[in-house]
Structure 1
Amino acid sequence: MTAERDQLKNSLNSRTKERDQLQNNLNTKTTEKNQLQNSLNTRTTERNQLQNSLTTKTKEKDQLQNTLTTITQERNQLQNSLNTRTTERDQLQNSLNSRTKERDQLQNSLTTRTKDRDKQQNSLKVMTAERDQLKYYLNSRTKERDQLQNSLNTRTTERDQLQNSLNTTTTERDRFKTRLRFYEKPCLDGWWKFGTSCYYVSSTMDSSGAGQKECRTMGGELVIINSREEQIFIHGFKKNVWIGTFKKDRIWKWVDDTPFKPTYWMEGEPNNLNDEVACVEISQTASDPLKSWKDGPCIPKHWVCEKPFTP
């Protein structure tokens, strides 16, 4: 009985050594897979419990035999588990290899795409620089065009103004010619006919008051301007002449006390505002006949008389 027990015990020790070797192999494989390690730890705990039970009941052959059978089954299960985990490990390794290849392919593709992107980025920078340069040229040309357009508009406005002035002057000249032809010699010698009046331009110079006295001796008065046509007509004598207006007590009046309008002052005139007595001349320094009145002291100048035309 003791021999049999020893034999069983040896057999149990042998099985235990085999189990320990398998356990070591299992620990190595379990390191690669955490799930296998958890399972192995569970089985190891059971084995330790069985080992304690085997030690306690060593004297009982049947119990040892059962324990041996249990350990053998555990070994087989562990072997199967080891084979299963090894297969899973190999599958995972193959899967890892496949993923590594895919990663390398993706990395190569990414590198290629990055190079393409960098080329396109460089090309975009070149295009952007060219666009900005063209935009600068366009803005410069637009400014030049606008300046030329403004200059053209200014020249066109000036041309239109000159054309209007020419048309006005031509119309007035034609009117004067028509009237002069119609009244070829309507007034006395030395007098000019315009409208319903005769006009005399002095050949000598005198003060405005002296001119007024001379006009009255000839049956007239210093000229009173009643219209723009009459103003242009008097300006056409091409002399600086007194007309029939004066300032007394700082109030402008015509010699016949008619309302003082219309007026045809030069720019900046009248400028003798503080003088209590002043006279008005039609000045030839003004290019525009409708802006040719100038006030000043009543010193000697030529003067113009006006009297009604008597057929």
Structure 2
Amino acid sequence: MAAYEEETGITLELPGVSSRHAASRNYTDEDLTDDVQVVAPVSDTSAAIKNLTEERDTLQNKLDICGEQHTAVSDRSAAKTADLEATMKNLTEERDTLQGLLDVFEVRHQQGWVLFQNSFYYISSDTKSWQDSKADCVQKGADLVIINSKEEQNFLRKFKKRVWIGLKETEGVWKWVDGTQLSISFWIPGEPNNNNFEGKDEDCGEIRSYDQEDGWNDTPCDMQRNWICEQAL
């Protein structure tokens, strides 16, 4: 038995037999099978506990990683959902803006307005003073035209009418109806001259000559002219 213990490292405890009696008795393999209780050494138990602890910790670590991945996936899903909602919101706003422009275009088109670049233009069929012409444009949700480029000037010439534009002299300074000071201009050579036509100051601007690019003239504001309204988009 001592040899068995020495060889295997396992202590054999026999029921009802003290250790000193066990040493003096010969045991067969059958005896060992029927009567012996095998007790693992303390070192093996410690190793098993250590292994189980490591396995437990490994599993816990895997669970933690899975939890983090699940959270990350959820966060990404939430982020994707938020991005999608933001995109849908932007598209909805753009759609509504375009629909609004379409509605305005249809109404303006029916009313005889013409689209050029980023503005609608309306040319009157009757004549009024500069101030009354401006009032009519304002009533339409617009104002007398402000000319900002050569392209716009040449576009307006195509109406082939002598018309008021949104230009007026105040205390010697020519300004547009929005209050901005005149920068680019297309005066007929020699104009503006404030010629005091019929004894009146020539304080309002018009397109007098449409067959040339430089066709502006200053004239008294109570003269009767056609006019052009502009509504920016």
Q: TM-score, normalised by structure 2?
A: 0.50
* Structure with the higher helix share, 1 or 2: 1
Q: TM-score, normalised by structure 1?
A: 0.38
Bigger relative CO (Cα 8 Å, ≥ 6 apart): 2
* Structure with the higher strand share, 1 or 2: 2
